[in-house]
Structure 1
Amino acid sequence: MKLLRWLLIPIVPIYDLITRIRNFAYDHNWFKSTSFPLPVIAVGNLSVGGTGKTPMVEYLIRLLRDDFKVATLSRGYGRKTSGFVLANNQSDAITIGDEPFQFYSKYKDVTVAVDEQRVRGISQLLKLSNPPEVIILDDAFQHRKVKAGLYILLTDFNNMYLDDLLLPTGNLREAKKGANRSDLIVVTKCPHELSDIDKKHIVDRINPLPSQKVFFSKIVYADKIIGTNEELSIDQLKSKKFTLVTGIANPEPLIEFLVNKGLEFEHLAFKDHHNYTAEEIANLSGKDLILTTEKDFGRLKGVPQNLYFLPIRIEFDKKELFNESILNKVNLLYRRC
């Protein structure tokens, strides 16, 4: 696969030209970009693959929901429906996508919707009898038909956009210059012990604009796993035979965490957003204990009571400053509306 990607390197300049023309057209108002009369926050990245967008959206939900009526709007990648769909009690990962279903399952006080056309989706949300006051757009950094009030760009510490190449040889969706559209840049999945010198080196490499702020975040795993009917401590897994099932872009941090805990397990890896078949679920049902990610948990509900997930959250090195940056911007946009 890597060889094929390098063989495709002659296509990179063509892809670069197309994306640059597209961005130039939006920058100069040749293509229409729609603004809305409420704070809209766009969370995204420059690269394909997992950079931690879902934990970031959940962090924003928890930060904002006490003061504002919050809605999330996603494309609903992997769903079997189309158009605007508002999450309800009959929704599942098939009808709205795994990540929106996770939002809906955890945050009942938040409106969750999906639409591949974000302008239409926002318009539909604003027509609700109890419309949102803040909308969080998931994976929308390149969706320039919407002009958000705040852009949060994520980049994985282990695969920063600074070191990547454009598609199809690399994983970048657009040129690195696209980072200039962001208000906040968050380096995600950092080591738990990252020195100030290392952080400064990264900031110097990013070379943010005067208007931009750079933050660092890390993944924190829970000390317990959650099943349909019970919870177990991580330490209890030391005496159990279990299977790790992942359908995410990069399971390596999770694998590393479990190995460092001294756990032994079988790992079954599937592609990101994998929709498990009835046959796969039937095969998994024969396992003694299955540990999976929270995102996969919603797609594996056909597995009986031996299914558990490991919750994660993100922590910031400068939590107060990050929260303040978000709240000040949202309050400013809200007053303007």
Structure 2
Amino acid sequence: MIRFIRWLLFPFSILYATAVLLRNWAYDNQLYNSTSFHFPVIVIGNLSVGGTGKSPMTEYVLRLIKARLNVAVLSRGYGRKTKGFRYVDVQDSAKLVGDEPLQIKRKFPDVMVTVCEDRVHGIQRIQDQVDTVLLDDAYQHRKLRPSFSILLLDYESLQHPVIPLPTGNFREPLLGCKRADVIVITKCPQKISAQIRFSLESRLRKYTVVPIFYTKIAYQTLQTTGGILLCEAQLHDTCAVVVTGIAKPQPLLAHLEPQLKKIIHLSFPDHHEFSPSDLHRISQTLQHIDAPQKVIITTEKDMQRLPSSFIAQHPVYFLPIEQAFLFDQAATFNNIVMRACSFE
């Protein structure tokens, strides 16, 4: 029914795409002003709505450059209840700063993490304190002219026609690829045939000649906020309530299902703020599982939005993920990013 309604809105998708193309044309031809900075400003973004792996890529680039540069991360802070510029602290809540910036700050406490919906203003606030700025999800923020743009396209979305909002899930057509300095196709299967690679790259080469990379999700070990690990050998006799508030939970479920004895999936919208009734539902679902070994499993991003009091009372584990490059492309990607940061 929802899909049918979205197709009824297809005329609005045409209007939306036209408006986006006109807006980009105006920026490309300097009818609208864009602000640039005298130091490296790296943007990580996508063309679709959510689920392409921006946070893992942000963390990947951060690990790559933070030892050599004084780098800050600037995010919009999607889902927060505050406005304007704000420094992120490890003791903050997702309501104050957003779940993704909070996750990054807790993983990299020595890195400056900030949030501001106006990215230009956000950079201006910190430009005298850092050597470079890494922006999460700012590809469509055309008021800013980055020095380097990493565009993420998830593998599954490229298996279908690219249809703009509201019928499809794309913020802009594939023509937007032309603004990227590199393209990373994320969430790929372990094996991709040469024929599929040729087909994907031929499709993108209509719009760009920049390097194209492939990554997959690299799942780490389940763990608690206190660092207690739940190893794979322990999972076969474990039942789990899997709680997700992310755009695309299917890859996570596909990873967990073969390892666990039983899964009950409770799905919530992306960036969902867990209410007391939600928490009660999760708790009751766990309680009703008749098994000696049972846990709650969630994503690292969702863990930022679960109250500490709830976590303290339940066996809650989260599953960290990282980006892993395919076809031995990591070194090439690393060199390109390092040159963009003036390392070479």
TM-score computed with the length of structure 1 as normaliser: 0.93
Deviation beyond 3 Å, 4+ runs, structure 1: 208-211
Cα distance in 2 for residues equivalent to 1:272 and 1:74 = 17
Q: How does 1:307-318 map to 2 (within 5 A)?
A: 307-317=316-326, 318=329
Task: Give the direction of change, closer, same or farther, for the CA distance of 1:328–1:218 in structure 2 (3 Å limit).
Answer: same
State the one-letter code of the partner of 1:227: T
Cα distance in 1 for residues equivalent to 2:309 and 2:202 = 48
Gaps of 5+ in 1: none
Cα offsets for 1:114-169 (capped at 9, x unmatched) = 00110110011124xxx121111111110000000011111110112872211111
Query: Do residues 327 (structure 1) and 338 (structure 2) align?
Result: yes
Percent identical residues = 41
Which residue is equivalent to 2:259?
Answer: 261
Cα distance in 2 for residues equivalent to 1:10 and 1:86 = 41
Cα offsets for 1:277-301 (capped at 9, x unmatched) = 1232244345242100000011113
Q: Which piece of structure 1 moves more, 237-246 or 226-235?
A: 226-235
Cα distance in 2 for residues equivalent to 1:109 and 1:320 = 25
Partner of 2:241: helix, strand, or coil? strand
Partner of 2:12: helix, strand, or coil? helix
Which residue is equivalent to 1:297?
Answer: 303
Does the 8 A contact of 1:99 with 1:295 survive in 2?
Answer: yes
How far residue 174 of structure 1 moved from its aligned partner, in angstroms, is: 1.4
CA RMSD of aligned residues (A): 1.7
Task: Give the direction of change, closer, same or farther, for the CA distance of 1:232–1:210 in structure 2 (3 Å limit).
Answer: closer
Does the 8 A contact of 1:46 with 1:161 survive in 2?
Answer: no
Partner of 2:156: helix, strand, or coil? coil
Cα offsets for 1:23-53 (capped at 9, x unmatched) = 1111111111000121001111111121111
Q: How does 1:239-254 map to 2 (within 5 A)?
A: 239-254=237-252
Which residue is equivalent to 1:136?
Answer: 134
Cα distance in 2 for residues equivalent to 1:259 and 1:219 = 16
Which residue is equivalent to 1:159?
Answer: 157
Cα offsets for 1:64-116 (capped at 9, x unmatched) = 01101111111100001110010124312111000000000000121100001
Cα distance in 2 for residues equivalent to 1:331 and 1:211 = 22
Which residue is equivalent to 1:79?
Answer: 80
Q: 1:188 aligns with which of 186, 189, 192?
A: 186
Does the 8 A contact of 2:239 with 2:260 survive in 1?
Answer: no
State the one-letter code of the partner of 1:274: H
Partner of 1:289: helix, strand, or coil? strand
Which residue is equivalent to 2:272?
Answer: 274
Gaps of 5+ in 2: 287-293
Which residue is equivalent to 2:201?
Answer: 203
How far residue 209 of structure 1 moved from its aligned partner, in angstroms, is: 6.0
Does the 8 A contact of 1:161 with 1:172 survive in 2?
Answer: no
State the one-letter code of the partner of 2:70: K
Does the 8 A contact of 2:162 with 2:173 survive in 1?
Answer: no
Task: Give the direction of change, closer, same or farther, for the CA distance of 1:179–1:209 in structure 2 (3 Å limit).
Answer: closer
Cα distance in 2 for residues equivalent to 1:232 and 1:203 = 39
Which residue is equivalent to 1:8?
Answer: 9
Task: Give the direction of change, closer, same or farther, for the CA distance of 1:33–1:192 in structure 2 (3 Å limit).
Answer: same
Which residue is equivalent to 1:112?
Answer: 113
